[in-house]
Structure 1
């Protein structure tokens, strides 16, 4: 299976998906290794994961190189790797506290085999954000990263070969949809992050095989700027939340609603800041905005922009479609005005650095506009009056709202987010619950020998 380089457009890399039988043998081997991993105890698991973190750190340069090749961007890759190190440390601390609260470990059981199917937007983070807590819980984990960004797998496998205690219970596999479907048949629990369509398929497969599934798919984030907002802060935060990683995020802003009385001032600031951003065409380190990783999503971006322009939208910054440069597909950070709620760009996810801006007169209008999408989303409200912002936030059909910030800031600072902060059927990926969801409670009833149940047959 050939893989496209998002900067050159060339299919210059190949992966070799396992057959079902090979995958079955691999999972069986990991199941055999899991009891030893579990019985070794939490201190041992923490020690092993910390050792792996140190080896990952030693291989940071190579990991950065392959992730940059996979995604075409550099600054976001550095942030992604830093996040993973924070994730390992914070998860180890959470696990230590969690298991200290249980005096008898046999009262809880880890799922023996966990499958993780991750996405291409942040390949390393989303491959490990469920994997680390599951390992600390005592599970074995098999991970299938996206077939669009697989180059880092070989580096990860190389680091695992240097951690003898971890290699038997953690494995990364190359593959596409068929491999992911197979994991739903072979594991005891499945974690998935990706598109809504794929999430529905995975959830159905998990139900068919009667295993738990934690799935998360994209929402269409909304930023609301009230009349009393700090416009300098709001414009900076919303721009970053909309175009970071070329808009290829799950928690980003894709729609902006601004009070009519400040619409012009806000838009002027937003456009001015947008025009200062450059495309990283020369190389991944020169420029703020990297290429669109997925060729299919570049087509979606073009389609949504064309639909918006046809229905009367006006581009005040950026361009009307993705451009082809040196084989890579790039989308300039783009600001649209004169947008209406019937446009695709206001209703459907695009994973591009595009911010359509619409004015509102009343807060009820802002709430109605923001809640018009079918799926839940990440929200942001900007106001110097915290009570007003809180009252509005409570009325949004959001799983998470940031006030005077964007939720993306929390994700990359490694701070806890509430469960279901996106369109999910899962618990939080950060915080105490991140480990508990991989544990099963076992009830043990001990009856005294000299007692008799009244319901027994005589």
Structure 2
């Protein structure tokens, strides 16, 4: 394919109207490897002017792209999905270098990201309308879905590939054009995905990329009338800011925000499966996942056995550079992230929690942002880790005896993204799942995110859905055409 495996020391990162811009060396941002703290490359530190140009390019490209048939648009998405899967190892290595997660996990993310493009390549031809039977003999009514227009897509660092395709896939399938702003910590995956779209034959201006000043880029997206929708994944605080600012233009926002997922392990849970999956949820991406378990409720009749098995399995997990063989957990994304985990642990210990496993500061040879995975028991509701999103490898355990009480505890949060239960009882499955106030419920399953299903939360975990046919509806407006006939 002609692209080099090595990342250069100066990487073009602004792509507008089908052209990569030269980087002004006085306006750059350094990307670091969080495992080694070594600089990888420098990318452009773009701002308002670059964003304005990108929006203009997207607006100019919108009429042609939106008027193509769904089948025509799908060909580009099919090709991009194919290229992503073909280059999964190379893209995974880049992702690991800039984000830190183990290589196998990074390659899995890239393949999952390709899966979203494949799904929406298929959905592009299924933008069905509706014929409404009229109550008036001389009237005929039809509802036609139309693409909303230019989309501003803002994506996070924790899943720098899949979060992009989960937004761009449905937007492009629907006929929208896009200006993408990736996280400053992980712009390299975004650059490679845009190159893939370019190679797949995406027309100029349909996808544009701007890296740099988050505040300036976001402000231009919010105030520019050509942007009809902002889709954002990130913190609840930033999501609230976007909602407030978008109100001036009544601009549509689609938000996937924070979470505080509980796991409830009932007395009839399969202990081996429940402990394995609990660890997989909590320590996936080292706990830097919006849907990962943040608190664990275990029925007191199985608590000792459950905790011992959890400890045994955790102590077999290896922490290190994600590019090294056999590593299960990489670094956190920043020193600030590590400090937050340590503060939550300190708070829990001060309030009576006991360490089951881990708990020490990183003493390994690598100087990156490492934090040993830790389990604590005797967690109480007043601890920060039981109330705030930790976003790191700290797992608190609280026991319970009463089903109604543990449901109340699980629901006692402003977040409502994902929740998980372990039980072999069908009646309990339905009863508890219906009462949990979350957008997604996993029953003996901690990985609910797949291209064909809707992903999203309630309460302060966001609005709108990503994934499935539901995800494409975010990028469509329904137009009523009412026709009077003789």
| TM-score w.r.t. length of structure 1 | 0.91
Q: CA deviation at 1:94?
A: 2.4
Gaps of 5+ in 2: 1-28, 132-140
Identify the residue that residue 250 of structure 1 maps to in structure 2: 290
2:193 aligned residue (156, 159, 172): 156
Check whether the contact 1:220–1:255 (CA below 8 A) recurs between aligned residues: yes
Q: Classify the secondary structure of the residue corresponding to 2:333.
A: coil
Which of 308, 330, 335 in structure 2 is aligned with 1:295?
335
Cα deviation code 1:48-85 (max 9, x no counterpart): 11122233344434322221111112122111111012
The 1:19/1:333 distance shift into structure 2, 3 A limit, reads closer
Deviation digits for residues 105-155 of structure 1 (CA, Å, limit 9, x no counterpart) = 993321220010011110011112011101010000111111111122332
Q: Tell whether the 8 Å contact from 1:120 to 1:149 is kept in structure 2 after alignment.
A: yes
Residues 344 and 324 from structure 1, CA distance in 2 versus in 1: closer, same or farther, beyond 3 angstroms? farther
Matched with 2:91 is: 63
The answer to whether the 8 Å contact 1:229/1:383 transfers is yes
| CA 41–230 in structure 1, closer or farther in 2 if over 3 Å, else same | same
Q: Which residue of 2 aligns with 1:76?
A: 105
Query: Within the alignment, does 1:107 sit opposite 2:144 as a pair?
Result: yes
Displacement of 1:424: 3.8
Q: Name the residue aligned to 1:311.
A: 351
Deviates more, 1:229-238 or 1:312-321: 312-321
Structure 1 unmatched ranges of 5 or more: 451-458
What is the CA-CA distance between 1:396 and the residue it aligns to?
2.0
Does the 8 Å contact 2:322/2:329 carry over to 1?
Answer: no
User: Which residue pairs with 1:175 in the alignment?
Assistant: 212
Matched, 1:221 2:245: no
With over 3 angstroms needed to count, the CA separation of the structure-2 counterparts of 1:283 and 1:29, relative to structure 1, is: closer
Q: After alignment, is 106-115 or 244-253 more displaced? A: 106-115
CA distance in 1, matches of 2:69, 2:293: 42
Structure 1 residue 27 and structure 2 residue 76: aligned?
A: no
CA distance in 1, matches of 2:203, 2:292: 34
Answer 1 or 2: which has greater helix percent. Answer: 1
Does residue 446 in structure 1 map to residue 465 in structure 2?
no
The 1-side partners of 2:461 and 2:203 are apart by 29
Q: Note if 1:188 corresponds to 2:214.
A: no
Q: Secondary structure at the match of 2:116?
A: helix
1:347 aligns with one of 387, 390, 397: 387
User: How do 1:416-435 and structure 2 match up within 5 A?
Assistant: 416-417=453-454, 420=457, 423-435=460-472
CA–CA distance in 1 between the matches of 2:368 and 2:427?
46
Shift, 1:160, TM fit: 3.4
2:167 match? 130
Paired with 1:106 and 1:254, the residues of 2 have a C-alpha distance of: 43
| C-alpha deviation, 1:445, in angstroms | 2.9
Q: 1:6 touches 1:70 (CA, 8 Å); kept in 2?
A: yes
Specify the SS of the correspondent of 1:191: strand
Q: Distance in 2 between matches of 1:16 and 1:36?
A: 29
Q: 3-state SS of the aligned residue for 2:329?
A: coil
2:276 pairs, out of 228, 233, 236, with 236
User: Are the aligned partners of 2:47 and 2:213 in contact in 1 as well (CA < 8 Å)?
Assistant: no
Q: State the TM-score, normalized to the length of structure 2.
A: 0.86
- In the alignment, the residues of structure 2 paired with residue 389 and residue 203 of structure 1 have an alpha-carbon distance, to the nearest angstrom, of 35
Partner Cα separation in structure 2 for residue 196 and residue 418 of structure 1: 16
1:388 aligns with 2:428: yes
Contact 2:113 2:163 in 1 (8 A): no
RMSD: 2.4
Q: In 1, distance between residues paired with 2:89 and 2:273?
A: 34
Change beyond 3 A, Cα 1:281–1:155: closer
The equivalent of 1:453 in structure 2 is none
For 1:267-416, what aligned pairs fall within 5 Å after superposition? 267-281=307-321, 283-321=323-361, 325-406=365-446, 409-411=447-449, 413-416=450-453
Instruction: State the alpha-carbon separation in 2 of the partners of residues 421 and 11 from structure 1.
Output: 39
| Displacement of 1:167 | 3.7
Give the secondary structure class of the aligned counterpart of 2:187.
Answer: coil
Name the SS of the counterpart of 1:405 in structure 2: coil
Residue of structure 2 aligned with 1:4, choices 13, 32, 37? 32
In structure 2, distance between residues paired with 1:116 and 1:283: 29
1:324, distance to aligned residue in structure 2 (A): 6.7
Is contact 1:219–1:422 with CA below 8 Å preserved after alignment? no
Residues 56 and 259 of structure 1: CA distance in aligned 2, closer, same or farther (over 3 Å): closer
Contact 1:302–1:320, Cα closer than 8 Å, also in 2 = no
Partner SS for 2:301 = helix
Deviations for 1:336-366, whole angstroms, at most 9, x for unmatched residues? Answer: 0011110101110111122111111211221
Change over 3 Å in CA distance of 1:279–1:325 after alignment to 2: same
Q: Deviations over 1:216-250 (max 9, x none)?
A: 11111101111121111111111111111111111
Aligned residues: 446
